[in-house]
Chains A and B, each alone.
Chain A
């Protein structure tokens, strides 16, 4: 019974496809996958906008939206209607074709990236042998979309925002990919379902074998989260759209449905990269404790995804925005060395996997943790005592 519930969507799809003539099946199966992904994640997008506004409101000691429907739950509907009915303005100087194509170029690659993510046991649209590479490859398309939006608007602020956005995205893509490479090294596969499988099972019957419970996995997960925040342009890395500095960056000249598409793309990107983090480090759809393994796998995945989203909302409500030079220094001088050392630690962890003496696990943990901790403290010491970095002086505020 539980088995059926776990495979509910897989069986449902098989049944629906089986009802059609054989000639259609080849086309129908991917169509169903695509429809399901778009439907589920567009729905999640609507829910997240509400959760974000409510959560930010609570963090800032106010109510958040509470007018439309009971407790404001119909707010996303109202927002959507507003977006759809707004006038679509294109600046006279704008490059019309590129301006029109930019939102499409933003959303399409992100939707493609969902194809390789395993949302549950056997619940993956395409199992590429190089799935992780596919994810990063299509993710690279969004950078061009940001540039298209910024350049085609013919607006100084939007071009500046696009420049900032691209610089930030390529800088943080390096730690993002390298922290994922550590997982590939240990799991021995680029296919996301088999990376999830490599995290199956429990130590001593209770501690899940997720990569996040290893020293390199913990460090890698934290680095991955930071890089993912920057990749999806979210606070504290929302410089490309910093409202107080460059209005809304590459989104200035967009309104109505095109703006809604960008908004959707940004949130879909956030979900996709969170889902990748869950797959790589948090065991994918695996249950955290063995006695809860009967809960359907997609529910675990959804719960972890919601947890990640909550974390991102919390971060947004808590952290102030960085400056551009701080952003670049952080990526190249701090995260890049750390993530390279993390790769070495992962190799060490993998190489010492055969150790069998008593306390081998603790020794490996301490060894890896010590290397990472030493690097971390040395790096932060070097960065904070770098020449020209005296104590902060306030010129105007007292």
Chain B
């Protein structure tokens, strides 16, 4: 268990760093997919099977593909490698390191540090579905509404303004 965690953590962090640091956009997206798969592995280790598969389905199957499509449509895939180390850039990294330091200090300072996991609960898809249909039915409907709105909004945004005779 421990080994699996550290291997997966290394893969996830390496994928995330590469996704943010590589000069070529396509490489970034592919590394992002690796990071997402690593996270799905963590979810599987933690016993959240359904979330793990949903993570791969949504992030690798939809978000990464959408990013790829956006890259191809905006001709960014063949853009020259952009990696400019500038003053604001270094400042951004500094802020991020500061945030990580704060978060890590909080985690270390909280009483949670040595907490051990209770025995693994049995998470069946049936139990999840019953929760979603009973206690969480309003959030579920709201998410459905949100997704529909996002679908329509995305289509309208990306639709060319033909009325104005757009390019």
Q: Is the CB of B65 within 8 A of A166?
A: yes
Q: Is the CB of B60 within 8 A of A140?
A: yes
When distances are taken between beta carbons in the complex, the residues of chain B under 8 Å from A144 are: 30, 33, 60, 64-65, 68
Looking at the assembled complex, report how far the CB atom of B23 sits from the nearest CB atom of chain A, in whole angstroms: 12
Main secondary structure of the interface of A (DSSP, over half): helix
Tell me whether A151 is interfacial, beta carbon within 8 Å: yes
Segment 32-76 of B: residues with Cβ below 8 Å from A: 33, 49-50, 53-54, 56-57, 60-62, 64-65, 68-69, 72
Using A130-B125, A147-B68, A166-B65 as known contacts, say yes or no to A140 and B57 having CB atoms under 8 A apart: yes
Q: Is the CB of B30 within 8 A of A128?
A: no
In the complex, the number of residue pairs spanning A and B with C-beta atoms less than 8 Å apart equals: 64
Tell me whether B11 is interfacial, beta carbon within 8 Å: no
When distances are taken between beta carbons in the complex, the residues of chain B under 8 Å from A243 are: none
Segment 61-94 of B: residues with Cβ below 8 Å from A: 61-62, 64-65, 68-69, 72, 77
Q: How far is the CA of A133 from the CA of B43 in the complex (A)?
A: 15
> Pick the contact of B54 from A133, A148, A170 — CB < 8 Å?
A133
Q: Is the CB of B125 within 8 A of A190?
A: yes
Tell me whether B148 is interfacial, beta carbon within 8 Å: no
When distances are taken between beta carbons in the complex, the residues of chain A under 8 Å from B68 are: 144, 147, 166
Q: Which residues of A contact B (CB under 8 A)?
A: 95, 98, 128-130, 133-134, 136-141, 143-144, 147-148, 151, 159, 163, 166, 170, 173, 188-190
Q: Which residues of B contact A (CB under 8 A)?
A: 26-27, 30, 33, 49-50, 53-54, 56-57, 60-62, 64-65, 68-69, 72, 77, 123-126
Provide 27 A-B residue pairs closer than 8 Å at the C-beta atoms, listed in order of the A residue.
A98-B27, A129-B124, A129-B125, A130-B49, A130-B50, A130-B53, A130-B125, A133-B53, A133-B57, A137-B54, A137-B60, A137-B61, A140-B56, A140-B60, A140-B65, A143-B61, A143-B65, A144-B64, A144-B68, A147-B65, A148-B30, A151-B26, A151-B77, A159-B72, A166-B65, A173-B61, A188-B126
